[in-house]
Homo-oligomer: A and B are copies of this chain.
């Protein structure tokens, strides 16, 4: 590999989170499955928003959170994602650029508004997400510049992008550009429901294209349709080059060929809001990886970043992660 302008190039759904506290009864009344991400249309978004309590708006999007985390560690990141030229789009762009991440994707001039994720945080600190994709559906291959992809050590994408057909094409174009330049590609499985929607495509990708896979316990067991984490570990070992699997308070497991590293979770004084835990784990891992650290150290950095983000409301770090290493 030649030297890289960017450590990580992230491609994701560019979303502003609207976070509100809710009780279990609210989830039941509105047919929400705790802990999941559900796609909603604009009408449903309006109805649900009207029923929610007061919120705070904070930039999110799984991969956007990861890139903010990479930058917070001191890594060099670039991001590709689609917002509208509206107020929430400006908020998203500001918040990402303010972390130091390069974000040059042109905003949509018409069509649906910037994506919003209505997040209900229950008293147990679990988050339940309802995403209106809006302008994200406008992301496409034209937004991928192969030269930028070639200038990043790792191209990292969300499984969530499969929910927008043109965005999936953009990802595949980026993967090809990365491999043509001898760079690596990485994907997160995103959500167990997302795995159910695209299982066979994800498994094909994993065998053929992906260098580093991220997933949590629910996602990896869903991918292989097995009952236990141990079965999923053995299945993924045969297909993935490197898999980094998170297990909440049990820490994470990294698998590469015959080797396995189990790394404990970093301590957290009080879990306030689990939103972004997986995103920030990926940030720490990828920062370590692109800095040439051993895999166990990558997992440890992932754990540190995840611990920071679940100790407060919002899915991006509040304090510089480089200070926590």
Which residues of A pack against B, CB within 8 Å? 21, 49-50, 52-59, 68, 86-88, 91, 94-96, 98-99, 113-114, 314, 316, 318
Contact = CB atoms under 8 A, between A and B. Distances in A.
Contacts of A91: 55, 57
A290 to B, nearest CB: 22
Given A54-B96, A57-B58, A86-B87, 5 more contacts: A53-B98, A54-B59, A54-B68, A54-B316, A56-B314
Nearest to A55: B95
Nearest to A319: B21
Contacts of A55: 91, 94-95, 98
A54 B57 CA distance: 12
A4 to B, nearest CB: 25
Contacts of A54: 59, 68, 94-96, 98-99, 316
Contact of A50 (B50, B53, B94): B94
Nearest to A318: B21
Nearest to A59: B54
Nearest to A18: B91
A55 B56 CA distance: 11
